[in-house]
A and B are shown apart, each in its own frame.
With several copies, the nearest count.
Chain A
Amino acid sequence: MKRVYLDYAATTPTHPDVLAEMQPYFFLKFGNPSSIHQFGQEAKAAIETAREKTAKLIGASADEIVFTSGGTESDNFAIEGIAFANEKKGKHIITSKIEHHAVSECCEFLAKRGFTITHIPVDKFGLVDPEDVKKTITDKTILISIMHANNEIGTIEPIAEIAGIAKEKGVYFHTDAVQTAGHIPINKLNADLISFSAHKFYGPKGIGALYIKKGTRMVSFLHGGAQEKNRRASTENVPGIVGMGKACELAQNDMAIEKETILRDKLIKGLFDQIPEIVLNGHPTLRLPNNVNISIKHIEGESILINLDLMGIAASSGSACTSGSLDPSHVLMAIGLAHEVAHGSLRLTLGKYTTDDDIIYLLETLPPIVKKLRAMSPLK
């Protein structure tokens, strides 16, 4: 059966060149980078090269990059790292209503430990208004964390402006760039902290990075050995780090923004042409080049996904049923969707290997599924 993967925002395959670069570090060059001997030093050299490549992707300097186990750790590290180091100044953190759980749940954890969290709302396109951020800052505010682009609806936030406000007010600014790194250009974004995850841009799973601007006052998250210049303990995941470096290098030379934008817009047009009563979630233009998110009224997301899957198409949904919780996606609620519309959301995210044919196949396959499910539905 044809298999069409349209869930690149969930994860991407590790690029063969990335895997090739990682291979030697499993068996031949397996040393621990902290070891003084040859085995260790060749591993150390490899991670330092990877650090330079990673830094280059965002125009940072290599010693501002700390490798982590992924986007979640980077987010947790940034937020708890700032919170625990700066709580004498204040315990107020500003974030948005559409952050990834790696940010929002971490803030939740801090809220239980005496911190106050302000959640900035978004408009119907998912945009944060920088003015709202500005108004909320107090002299107790130590951190603002607003994501670069949303993972569900693809909306790209006005990060430069928010970062400017944070700077002006002397508040640290973190942005979760997990969905943008490797996909659209990032140039430090004027942020103090930026989170990345390699598996979102053809690197391996289980490795990420945190950009920490020189001079940022924070504590470490993983406590132990002196790795990563005392900023992140634990034996380095050498193959993972090498893979992340390679993925950054590949991304820098080959962001498929135009190609993806064309396919994305073709897909959106096709969906609107062929399926009545759908809505586009997210911003029409301030949007990740690979993200399509629609709500298909009167039917529920998981049912759509399973039907698509049986036809070989992989997609995702903000429906509660796909997350194991009972509530639909907080992002779709934050942009003001009615519950049943939120439950009917379908996210299609494109990538390096997406072809015209894949889009055509989806546009052939989805409409009859929608028709069938709508025929079963009590809603109209």
Chain B
Amino acid sequence: MAGPYSEKVMDHFMHPRNVGVIENPDGIGQVGNPVCGDIMKMYINVKDNVITDIKFQTFGCGAAISTSSMATEMIKGKSLNDALALTNKAVAEALGGLPAVKMHCSVLAEEAVKSAIDDYLKKTTGTGLPGFKPHEEPLEKHEH
């Protein structure tokens, strides 16, 4: 299709990496909300400060799904610090670019990662990521 998306986006959209749920994960993050039409949920397992496993579930458009997929791929096996350094721009670039109106999806992907790490830190150290606050609070939480 000659649609709005690059080939890379379409590849990740049609064949998303790391889809699914981790049972009893070390951290869960959820960002977005039904109003804007994108909800991303990420599950991580962490060992020795390294993200050993990551899964996502996304309700949203093509860009939302492919940025989720790309973001998980980019940080799987990386240290928490490296994962926290992931920017939405890097995700978009790795996908060969996004239409301007879809850039907010890459922001959500970045925030979903941070939110999962925040959750992990809260659970392990008692305090979350300093200063972290996703753009919009989800209206409902689907916590396990």
Contacts and interface: CB of A to CB of B under 8 A. Distances in A.
A309 B4 CA distance: 12
Contacts of A28: none
B119 to A, nearest CB: 14
B2 A41 contact: yes
A339 B64 CA distance: 17
Contacts of A307: 14
A299 B61 CA distance: 9
B21 to A, nearest CB: 9
Interface stretch (B35-43, B44-52, B85-93, B123-131): B35-43
Interface string B1-31: 1111100001001101001000000000010
A271 to B, nearest CB: 20
Interface string A309-328: 11000000001110010111
Contacts of A379: 34, 39, 59, 142
Given A38-B1, A378-B142, A343 B37 contact: yes
Interface in B68-84: none
A309 B1 contact: yes
Contact of A38 (B3, B16, B58, B61): B3
B37 A319 contact: yes
A300 B3 contact: no
A36 interface: yes
B3 A380 contact: no
B97 interface: no
A378 B59 contact: yes
Contacts of B16: 376
B34 A343 contact: yes
A32 interface: no
Interface of B: 1-5, 10, 13-14, 16, 19, 30, 33-41, 57-65, 101-102, 142
